Amino acid sequence: MNLQTIEKVPLVTLVGPLNSGKTTLFNYLSGKSFKTVNYPGATVEYSISRLLNKFNISANIIDSPGIVSLSANSPDEKISIDALFNHPLYGQPDLLVVTVDSSQLSRHLLLVKQLKSCGFKLIIALTMNDLLIKKKFAISLSKLRIILGCEVVQVDGRTGEGINNLLNTISDQLDKIKLPDGKSEIIQLINNDRHSLLNFYKEIEKIENDVIYEIHSNGNGFDLNAANAQLNVLNPSYEIKTKYTLDSTSLKIDKFLLHPTLGGVFFFLIMAATFTSIFWLADPLMGMVDVFFAFLSSETAALLGSNWFSDFVSSGIISGTGSVLVFLPQILILFLILGLLEDSGYLARGAMIVDKPLSKIGLNGRSFVPMLSGFACAIPAMLAARTIPNRRERILTIFILPLMSCSARLPVYALLIAFLIPSGKSWLGGIILAAIYIFSVTSSIIIASILNKFKHRIIKEEDNSSFIIELPAYRKPKLSFVLTNSYMNAKVYLQKAGPVILAFSIILWFLTYFPNTNPEIDTTGLSEDEIVQVQEVERLSTSYASDLGKLIQPVMTPIGMDWRVGVSLIAAFAAREVFVSSLALIFKVTDNEETFQASMIQSMRQAEIKDTGQKLFTTATITGLIIFFVFALQCLSTVAVSKKETGGWRIPVMQVIIFTSVAYLLTFITVNGLRAVGVN
C-alpha cells in the first residue's frame, strides 16, 4: 500500500485560559470523563481522543493545559504551546477551538488575538454565558464574528447546550480546510514587547465595548425584544463594562470566606468537617461491605471444605481483598466532598488563604493545588506541580508531597483508629482522622521550612516567584459531574490498587500457609475451635513468612513490634493498602465473628509477642504505626514519578532515605515515650 495515499485525519485542538471550560467541552466532544476543576493544575499533559462516532466527523481532538497567552511561564504551559505549533505525534492542528469566558473578555481575548496573528484557523467557543446573563449582560455574536474574523459559538459546558452548533461549525471549517487554499500558513513569531501588548489590549478594550450590551428587565424577567433592539446600536460605557465583570454574590461571600481572620477559621472548619465526615458518613456503608465479604468467605469455606484450596480462596483471595475493599466507601466520600468543594469554586479561595503561610516556608499558593491533590494520590499531585513556574518551589513542593495523607493510607488509618476508639463512637474516629490529616500537613510545612534553609544547595539556579490566581464565581455544584468524577476516581483507585492487592494477598497467603509441616500438638482439653486456632498459630510460626520475619526482628524490637508487623510493613512498600490485607492473612482472621473488621481487631487485641508474652498491639504501638505511615514513603510508583518530574534520582533517593528514617525514629520515640508515661 502506498502510504502517501492515506488521508491524514484532521486534528482539532482545544485551547484556552484556565477555568474557561476547556476540559468540560473536551469531555462532551470525545465522550471521555476527564476531571474538570476550577483551579490551575487540572490538566498537566495533553489528552487526545477521536470525536464521538455519533457526530460523523472524522477528526482527532486534543485537550491541552490552560494558557493565557503564547508566552510559557511554567512546564505545563510549555507543553500546551509546543503542541499548538508542532505536536510531536500529530504535527500542527488543522483547527483550533478556543474557549473564552464570556464574563472575562478583557483577559481571554489576548490569546485569541495572538493565535490569529500566527495564522491559526479559529472557532471561538464562548463559555460561562450563564454568569454573564446573571449580571444582566450579553454578547452580540454577530459583531464579535465580524470583528475577530472567525466563527463564534455559545456553549454551556454544564448542560451541553450549543454543542451541536459547535460541531456543525467544526465540520464546516474542516471542509473548507480541505480546499486547495483552505490551509493557512502558521508562524511562531510572537511579539511580546510592551508596545505590542499595549496595542493588543487597546484593541481588546474596543472589542469589549462594541460587543457587550446590557439586558433590561420588564419586571417578569429579561426583555428579549429590548435586548434584540440594542444589538446593533448600543456602545456601552466603561461603567457598564466594569459592572459586568463583577459578580456581586461572589463578592459578598468572599467578604467572609476571604476575610483576613475569619477566612482562616472557615477554611479550618471546612477541612475538618471534610475529613470528619469521611469516617462518620462511611461507617454504615463500611458495615454493609464488611458483612458481605464475611458472608462470602464463610460460605466459600463451607462449600469447599477443610483443605488448602478452601483456605486459599476464602482467606487468601476473599479475606485479603475484602479487608481493603471495605474501606472503599471512605475513599468515595473523600472524592465526593472534594468534588463538591471544587465545583463550587471554593478551592481556588483555599489557595489564596494558604498563600501567605506557605510563603513563609519558601512556597506560595500554587503549591496548594498539588498538596490538595496529594490527599487523593501523590502521583497526579506531582504532575500538577508543573503549574509552578519557579523551579525551586516546584522541587520543594514535589519533595513534601509524599507527606500528604493519600487515599492509600485511608484503609490503614481506618483500621488503626478503629482499634483505638470504643465501639459505636465513629464520630470520635472522625476527629482522630482529621487530627492525623492536620498533623501530616503541619509536618510537611515544618520539613519544607527546614529544607528551605538549604534550598540553595538543593537547587542551584536563581529565579523569581509570584502568585496570581483566577477566582471563579461561586456556582452551585452540578451533582452529576461531581458523582461522575468521584466514580472515575474510585475506579482508577481500584484499577491501580486492586491487582497489586490481589497479587500480594496470594503471595502472602503462600508465605504464611506453607511449608505446612503439621507438627504434633497436644490437644488435651481443647475445644474444636481452640484446636484449629492452635494449629494455625503453629503453622504460622514454622512458615516461610516466619523465616523472613526473623531477619527483620532486630529492627522491629526497638519499636515494640515483632516480625509479623515487619512483614506487613515490607509488603506495604508496594502499596500501602496491602498492609491491612497482610495483617489479615498473617493473623489468620477467621469468619466466626460478625464482620472482618471486628474479627481483625479482636485478633489484634489477642496477639502477643512470643518471646515476652506482652501484647503486640497496644495504644502505644498503634499510635507508633500511625506515625510511621504519616512519614514513610511506601510507594514505588511515587518514587518513579518523582524521578521523572525532578529530572534525576537525587531528589527521590533523598525522599526515601529521609522520610523512612524520620518515620522509624519518630515511631521509636512515640512508642517508648508513651510507654514511659504509662500509656500502654
Looking up residue 43, the CATH number of its domain turns out to be 3.40.50.300
d(CA 533, CA 514): 16
Domain membership of residue 407 (yes or no) is yes
Q: Which amino acid is residue 585, in one-letter code?
A: L
| Run of H or E including 250 | helix 248-257
CA-based R_g, the chain, Å: 29
**pLDDT given for residue 469 in this prediction:** 65
**pLDDT given for residue 629 in this prediction:** 92
d(CA 13, CA 32): 15
| Run of H or E including 329 | helix 328-344
d(CA 472, CA 235): 27
Q: What pLDDT digit, counting tens, does each position of 615-629 carry?
A: 888 999 999 999 999
Give the closest residue to 635 by CA, choosing from 570, 556, 575, 560: 575
Q: What pLDDT digit, counting tens, does each position of 180-232 carry?
A: 555 556 666 565 666 777 777 788 888 888 888 877 655 444 444 444 444 44
Q: What pLDDT digit, counting tens, does each position of 296-315 carry?
A: 888 888 888 778 888 888 87
Distance of alpha carbon 163 from the chain centroid = 28
Give mean pLDDT, residues 328-333: 77
- Domain end residue (candidates: 197, 214, 245): 245
Residue 337: CB atoms within 10 Å: 19
Domain membership of residue 494 (yes or no) is no
Domain membership of residue 251 (yes or no) is no
Give mean pLDDT, residues 164-173: 87
Co-location of 292 and 233 in the same domain: no
Give mean pLDDT, residues 478-486: 76
Residue 551: CB atoms within 10 Å: 11
- Checking if the pLDDT of 671 tops 90, the result is yes
Q: What pLDDT digit, counting tens, does each position of 566-582 carry?
A: 888 877 776 687 788 77
Residues 6+ apart with CB under 8 A from 545: 508, 511, 512, 564, 567, 586
Co-location of 79 and 201 in the same domain: yes
Which is more confident, 101 or 522? 101
Sheet containing 60-63: give its strands across: 47-50, 60-63, 11-15, 95-101, 122-127, 151-154
- Give 613's Cβ-side CA count (13 Å radius): 0
Beta strand 11-15 with 122-127 is: unpaired
**pLDDT given for residue 43 in this prediction:** 46
Q: Model confidence at 665, in pLDDT bands (50, 70, 90)?
A: very high
Co-location of 297 and 361 in the same domain: yes
**pLDDT given for residue 664 in this prediction:** 93
- Domain end residue (candidates: 479, 507, 537): 479
Co-location of 176 and 205 in the same domain: yes
- Checking if the pLDDT of 279 tops 70, the result is no
Report whether 440 contacts 403 (CB < 8 A): yes
**pLDDT given for residue 230 in this prediction:** 44
Give the closest residue to 132 by CA, choosing from 102, 163, 167: 102
Co-location of 206 and 87 in the same domain: yes
Co-location of 200 and 347 in the same domain: no
Domain membership of residue 568 (yes or no) is yes
- Domain end residue (candidates: 245, 270, 295): 245
Angle at 572 between CA 569 and CA 576, to 5 degrees: 125
d(CA 271, CA 265): 10
Domain membership of residue 1 (yes or no) is no
**pLDDT given for residue 397 in this prediction:** 86
Residue 463: CB atoms within 10 Å: 10
- Checking if the pLDDT of 592 tops 60, the result is no
Domain membership of residue 587 (yes or no) is yes
Torsion of CA 77, 83, 85, 88, to 10 degrees: 140
Domain membership of residue 292 (yes or no) is yes
Q: Model confidence at 40, in pLDDT bands (50, 70, 90)?
A: very low
| Run of H or E including 154 | strand 151-154
Residues 6+ apart with CB under 8 A from 639: 633, 652, 655, 656
**pLDDT given for residue 239 in this prediction:** 45
Co-location of 507 and 462 in the same domain: no
Co-location of 148 and 76 in the same domain: yes
Domain membership of residue 486 (yes or no) is no
Co-location of 169 and 271 in the same domain: no
Give the closest residue to 486 by CA, choosing from 107, 33, 30, 7: 33
Alpha helix locations (H) across 587-635? 596-606, 619-631
Give mean pLDDT, residues 454-458: 61
Which is more confident, 499 or 239? 499
Count of domains for the chain: 3
The mean pLDDT value of the chain amounts to 76
**pLDDT given for residue 593 in this prediction:** 47
d(CA 664, CA 634): 13
Co-location of 430 and 513 in the same domain: no
Q: What SS3 string covers 290-311?
A: HHHHHHHHHHHHHHHCCCHHHH
Report whether 551 contacts 567 (CB < 8 A): no
Q: Model confidence at 468, in pLDDT bands (50, 70, 90)?
A: low
Q: Which of 183-197, 325-339, 513-527 has the highest average model confidence (pLDDT)?
A: 325-339
Q: What pLDDT digit, counting tens, does each position of 108-139 carry?
A: 888 888 888 888 889 999 988 877 777 778 88
In the three-class reduction of DSSP (H, G, I as helix; E, B as strand; rest coil), residue 572 is classed as: coil
Residue 559: domain span: 499-518+527-676
Q: Which of 179-193, 242-256, 482-496 has the highest average model confidence (pLDDT)?
A: 482-496
Supply the DSSP string of 504-568, one letter for each residue.
HHHHHHHHHH-S--------TT--HHHHHHHHHHHHHHTSHHHHHHHHHHHHHGGGT--HHHHHH
Q: Model confidence at 368, in pLDDT bands (50, 70, 90)?
A: confident
In the three-class reduction of DSSP (H, G, I as helix; E, B as strand; rest coil), residue 616 is classed as: coil
Q: What pLDDT digit, counting tens, does each position of 541-564 carry?
A: 677 777 777 788 888 889 988 888
Residue 673: CB atoms within 10 Å: 14
Residue 395 grid coordinates: 522541587
Residues 6+ apart with CB under 8 A from 162: 153, 154, 155, 156
Co-location of 342 and 213 in the same domain: no
Co-location of 16 and 143 in the same domain: yes
Q: What is the reported pTM?
A: 0.60
Q: Model confidence at 234, in pLDDT bands (50, 70, 90)?
A: very low
**Sole residue written with cell 507543553:** 79
Report whether 81 contacts 192 (CB < 8 A): no
**pLDDT given for residue 621 in this prediction:** 93
**pLDDT given for residue 232 in this prediction:** 41
Give mean pLDDT, residues 226-249: 48
